Amino acid sequence: MAFKRLDDSLSVSPQLSLGDVARAAREGFRAIISNRPDGEETGQPEAAAVQAEAERHGMAFAHIPIESGKAGDADADAMAQALATLPKPIVAYCRSGARSTTLWALANAEASDPASLVRQAAGADYDIASLEPQLQRRRKGQSVTYDVVIVGGGAAGIATAASILKRNAKVTIAIVDPAKDHFYQPGWTMVGAGVFTPEQTRKAEADVMPAGVEWLKVAASGFEPDRNAVELADGRTLTYRVLVAAPGLRLAWEKIDGLEAALGKNGVTSNYRFDLAPYTHQLVKQVKSGRALFSQPAMPIKCAGAPQKAMYLSCDIWREAGALPQIDVEFHNAGAVLFGVATYVPALMDYIAKYGIDLQLDSNLIAVDGDRRIATFERKRDGEITRIEREFDMLHAVPPQVSLDVVAKSPLAAASGFIEVDEATLRHKRYENVFGLGDGAGTSNAKAAAAARKQAPVVAVNVLAALDGKPPVADYDGYGSCPLTVERGKIVLAEFGYGGKLLPSFPAWLIDGTKPTKAAWFLKERMLPPIYWNAMLKGHELMAKPHRIGASA
């Protein structure tokens, strides 16, 4: 077999036989590196036998075995040490030579251009292009340290950065997020009802990025809190003094069979996507009779009230048009209650009755056949689970929601897959220089922009304390807000904290959150969007000053 030259010092080869060792010696090689574990296949010479034959011919030998596809930093360091100390030239082998080529590239990555290493390997007929991000990470000077690294440029991440810089503009901050656009997601319910236009809910991410931060337009690919590092998808490594993890969550459309393929046509929609909210409004205007289904998955989800908000506003449009009596409306909620805080349920049940909605609790959407317009649900009744099929003219579906894989597979994750933080200080339970907030945090509060608005100042002051080597100084009470749009012009303003404790922002004479009010609608339609864009994302903590630990409420 041929020994394939990678550079002046190293050639690589498939598995060497004992005869090949003698040939290598005759061709002038002075050392052999084995990168293959013993016992991978029948008849494979063991490393010890190859070593004995090499030494018989006056050659040095090193055994650095790795499993295919599992070359790590320690392996690369060992290979670099062997390449530096063994007499040259060297021949390295594994089953095909690919692992030896991989280790050679990783060993040289700190001093060589990754693209050049890829080209050199290709010249020896080895394709290591997929290795380039890992090569980039090992390059000298690729690790950059910041005071604070924030993963996530959504509401929580941007607001936290802005609040930190309002207090100390000298803090160096990197925000990691590849998104080009930033969305005001609470507005999508209003888009689905024709109250807002889609463009009212979108701005360029660059336009909301706080001045003074370094925006890295790339995704995080890994968290390594034991070495204060974040790995990036482009191969770079960031190191930090404090990490703020605000990556959001993932809409798991695939967990409902057939849903992804059905969305946007055949009457299937969801206000949980920017591009589909206008289709919701289109469908509501088109449907004059038949059956409209609205679904809600098991918790946790973003804004637990959003599935029924879409339903109430749709029903109100049909009522105004005189079509509601001809439409059978069903709300299928995978949970056991209409809303998680009992205080607000009576007002909502009044609207369930007003609109003639068939409320189906413990009923979970599991499949959608868009072409046939059939939705399949699993129902729990008396401990038994049954499946039912319902035909529809319109289906507003909400997907299950899960932690991002990059979080769930990291040391930051709790058993739930979300970031394991203390519910009050939002500091990680195991890593004292890590904080988590927003939809990706493993807290029991409602996942909503209103929660992030309250969390961000708490995290900001606790981050600054951590940079000074001090413990957290502020705590979060679990505040979340869900403006339940029960009809156009009226809202039940649910505001609550941990354990369902009511946390109203206004006196009852102004806004009684347990009842539908016009004032709450005015707040939702006219005030909350500018508060979001012009206050929250700019570090102006309107009605969101952090509560100091030990201070009165």
- Catalytic residue list: 303, 482
Cβ 476 vs Cβ 454: under 8 Å: yes
Among the residues of 209-360, which ranges form H helices? 259-262, 277-286, 306-321, 345-354
- Contact partners, residue 38, CB within 8 Å, separation at least 6: 44, 46, 47, 65
Q: How far apart are CA 232 and CA 222, in angstroms?
A: 7
Radius of gyration of the chain (CA): 30
- Inter-residue contact 498 to 478 (CB < 8 Å): yes
Instruction: State CA 91 to chain mean position distance.
Output: 44
Amino acid at 12: V
Q: What type of residue sits at position 236?
A: R
Residue with tokens 């936290």: 160
Q: What is the Cα–Cα distance from 423 to 400, expressed in whole angstroms?
A: 23
HSE-CB of 10 using CA atoms within 13 angstroms? 27
Please give the helix or strand (H or E) that residue 150 lies within, else none.
strand 143-151
Give CA–CA dist 157/303, Å, rounded: 18
Cβ atoms of 357 and 330 within 8 Å: the answer is yes
